[in-house]
Amino acid sequence: MKKILKISTIFAFGMLLIATNSFALEKRSKRKPKGKPEVLAPYTGPGAELYQQYPKEMRVLRYAVSNSREVQSNKFSKQFQNALFNSYVAQADRILNTRDYRSLSPRDREEAQFSKSALEKLELEEDRVDELSDRVRGHLTRLESRVFRIRRRVSLELISWQSEATLVGPFENTGLLTTNLGFCPGFGVSYENRFWALSADFNGIYGTGGVSAVQGLVTYQQSNVPAFGAKMAFGAAKVVASSGSELGIRGSVLFIKQNLTEPPTSGYSIEQDKALTATLSLFSRWRLGRYYFQTDFGRHIGRSATIYSFGLGYIL
Amino acid sequence: MRKLIPLLLIMIFTPLKESKAYPQFIGHGYPSCLNCHYNPMGNGPLTDYGRAVGATGIASRMFYPSSWSEEKIGDSSGFLFRKPKQEVARTQLNYRGLQMVQAFGTSNAKSSWINMQGSGQLILKFLNDDRLIMVGEIGYNPPSPQARAANQNQKILRSREHYVGYRFNPEFGVYAGFMDKAYGIRVAEHIALSRVYTDNTQNDQTHGVMIHGLAGGFEGALHAFFGSMFQSADIRQKGVSLQLEREVNNDHRIGFSFLNSKNDYIGVTSYGAHSRISLNDGSALMFEFGQNHRNAKSGSGSRISRYGLLQTFSKATQGLYLIANIDYGKTDLSQESSVLRWGPGIQFFPIQKVELRADLYNSRVFNENSTSLDSWMLLLQTHIWL
């Protein structure tokens, strides 16, 4: 059982690592990206003609928006300002009439954002721009939240399960219970959006367990019996927080091989449960950036024994 | 498990009517207990602000008419649903009862109701920004099962806490009197092994002086104590404890605790590390891991214990939280046995001043030389405060 202490210590450091790493990740994400500036694809949507008709004005506004500089609106013709406003209305209208987030290119979204920022710099139709931009932002958030994405991840969990066997004697049979503790490394795939997640996970299992029973004059005891196996799990979950935390149920198929030694006393033998079992469990994933903490708590179908696991994962 | 579902549904839909500020409310953007409690380390009576947060930000709105504004709900968070008319005195009443089903799901299941807490609190506040406070709480002391079995008389009422606090400024305060020791994460579960092993359960308050400070992203308390004066002098634990947290990225806290005390018979040293992580939208993850050393002067009874606690809270909707609780303990490192208590739970604040909670615990003993069936326990808790 010294192992459980080591495991707990590793786990403790893991949790502290998560907290400090998320801090580092967020800090990093606030830094300006290094290297060459991003080259945007040519824009062909509403307002694209402004780049031909008013190249100088557009250049000045682009510079002011990207460098957070002030502009004097009286240096821009009324005609240009009206054209810019009309193009923003057309861009917003196009976005608001879109039902599929993927039908909008990043450039479409960027251009609408630029038009809105440019109009704010020019202090033109402020109330109408604010109202429109709120609607656009809300609509984009709703559309994006419905988009399903595939995520791949790796995990390492601590797993514990109980397995049953029978000590068959000449006069009676005695139930044997093995309590196992081990590790469960694996990988998984999720198909998820902001509301729902479907997942498939594949894990290897290694653990050890002890067993003891007394039947008449015979005492059967074994400790540190190794167990090897694999687990395949399919789950469905509800995403419950904007961080992406999930709660759900899943069904798993486990194959675990653990050979209990036959008793040396003649007339006695061991009958073990099938190595292949199915389980139904409640599971949760608590996401912090690319790291997550996972718990799984379930029961073997058709048996009374419980199986649970918890551990850390990383989204690739 | 099938038997559990109706019980959970009953818990959810029972038409009762907030909340205590718990450490997991870091997920709501409240990393410090000082925001909502008179005691800066948490626990005990809520401030007016804490009561209003509980009523408007924590509890469900399902039983309020839609015409009720947040301000109106907040105004009804005072004692007996009234807005306080003066600034000096505050009163609160608290009740917590528990339906405990041992051996849940087996033919030997045994159910009992426990009145865990019934208390009255009086808070007196003086000076600007309530810089000087006096807090007192008299509570019902349920007789222990041992005392009940032996037909022993045990005091029914006891002081849960009474102290005076003075804040020199918002960043620094001194508190003197009878209160909980500053140590670890003050989770609500007094049966958590992180609280049991370190002598920080519901009846472990001590007389002493605590200084509390906030500076440069750190928050901490140093507590010098000389035991409970309600106990005989020889068993009073005298010593010092420290709890220090560092704020990480405005949302998260990592920290450590240390406690050293002794009486005429035994010396106790505890230390641990903890973390409270905000997952936004009211969800949080909390973790604590530590050790406790007991050195008995007689020699027998000396041991080193180890504990671990992991709790996840997920806000499913306003007022409803889904919980995973993992509690690990090894009472004596020189022995083989350790226990892992694990279970899902639901915490529901259907309306302000009412908390309903259901927890299912599975306890598994790990011992290489012997095996035992898991034990199951169902706890259904009702908490009301006025």
Indicate the number of domains in chain A: 2
Mean pLDDT of chain B: 84
Give the pLDDT of residue B7: 40
* pLDDT of A19 higher than 60: no
Asked if residue A216 belongs to a domain, the reply is yes
* pLDDT of B18 higher than 80: no
Structure confidence by residue, pLDDT tens digits, B282-321: 888 899 999 999 999 887 888 999 999 998 888 878 888 8
Mean pLDDT of chain A: 82
* A241 and A291 belong to one structural domain: yes
Asked if residue A26 belongs to a domain, the reply is no
Residue A8 touches partner B, C-beta closer than 8 Å? yes
Return the minimum-mean-pLDDT range out of A110-124, B37-51, B65-79: B65-79
Of residues A236 and B282, more confidence is placed in A236
Asked if residue A40 belongs to a domain, the reply is no
Asked if residue A33 belongs to a domain, the reply is no
* pLDDT of A40 higher than 80: no
* pLDDT of B54 higher than 90: no
Q: How confident is the model at residue A285 (pLDDT cuts 50, 70, 90)?
A: confident
Taking CB atoms and an 8 Å limit, are A288 and B277 in contact across chains? yes
* A159 and A131 belong to one structural domain: no
CB B221 within 8 A of CB B205: no
At CA A298, angle to CA A292 and CA A300, rounded to 5? 140
Give the pLDDT of residue B269: 94
Give the span between the Cα atoms of A158 and A307, in whole angstroms: 11
What ipTM score was computed for the predicted complex, to two decimals?
Answer: 0.72
Q: How confident is the model at residue B258 (pLDDT cuts 50, 70, 90)?
A: very high
Asked if residue A215 belongs to a domain, the reply is yes
Residue B19 touches partner A, C-beta closer than 8 Å? no
CATH code for position A168: 2.40.160.20
Domain boundary among A146, A180, A214: A146
* pLDDT of A246 higher than 90: no
Asked if residue A32 belongs to a domain, the reply is no
* A131 and A166 belong to one structural domain: no
Asked if residue A113 belongs to a domain, the reply is yes
Domain boundary among A146, A179, A212: A146
Give the pLDDT of residue B10: 39
Q: Which domain holds residue A135?
A: 45-146
Residues of A in contact with B365 (CB under 8 A): 179
* A222 and A199 belong to one structural domain: yes
* A181 and A119 belong to one structural domain: no
Give the pLDDT of residue A217: 67
* A301 and A237 belong to one structural domain: yes
Residues of A in contact with B287 (CB under 8 A): 12, 15
pLDDT (mean) for A209-234: 84
Single-letter amino acid code for the residue at B123: I
* A167 and A184 belong to one structural domain: yes
Asked if residue A12 belongs to a domain, the reply is no
Q: Which of B279, B361, B376 best probes binding to A when mutated, by most A CB atoms within 10 angstroms?
A: B279
Taking CB atoms and an 8 Å limit, are B287 and A12 in contact across chains? yes
Q: How confident is the model at residue A73 (pLDDT cuts 50, 70, 90)?
A: confident
Give the pLDDT of residue B42: 84
Residue A307 touches partner B, C-beta closer than 8 Å? no
Q: How confident is the model at residue A36 (pLDDT cuts 50, 70, 90)?
A: low
* A230 and A286 belong to one structural domain: yes
Q: How confident is the model at residue B9 (pLDDT cuts 50, 70, 90)?
A: very low
- pTM for the whole structure: 0.76
Q: Is the dihedral of CA A55, A61, A64, A66 positive or negative?
A: negative
Query: Closest-CA residue in chain A for B278?
Result: A288
Structure confidence by residue, pLDDT tens digits, B103-122: 888 888 899 888 888 888 89
* A193 and A173 belong to one structural domain: yes
Residues 95-114 on B with a CB inside 8 Å of A are none
Q: Where are the domains of chain B?
A: 4-385
Of residues B210 and A100, more confidence is placed in B210
Residues of B in contact with A284 (CB under 8 A): 312, 314, 322, 324
According to the per-residue pLDDT averaged within each range, which of B32-36, B151-155, B180-184 is highest?
B180-184
For the domain spanning B4-385, the CATH number is 2.40.160.10
* A271 and A184 belong to one structural domain: yes
* A104 and A141 belong to one structural domain: yes
Q: Which of A15, A290, A308, A310 best probes binding to B when mutated, by most B CB atoms within 10 angstroms?
A: A15
Give the pLDDT of residue A269: 85
pLDDT (mean) for B64-70: 82
Sequence-distant contacts of B296-301: CB under 8 A, at least 24 apart: B296/B265, B296/B266, B297/B264, B297/B265, B297/B266, B297/B267, B298/B265, B301/B266
For B371, the closest of A15, A16, A179 (CB atoms) is: A179
Sequence-distant contacts of B231-236: CB under 8 A, at least 24 apart: B234/B263, B234/B264, B234/B265, B235/B263, B235/B264, B235/B265, B236/B263
* pLDDT of A70 higher than 60: yes
Domain boundary among A146, A179, A201: A146
Residue A177 touches partner B, C-beta closer than 8 Å? yes
* A248 and A309 belong to one structural domain: yes
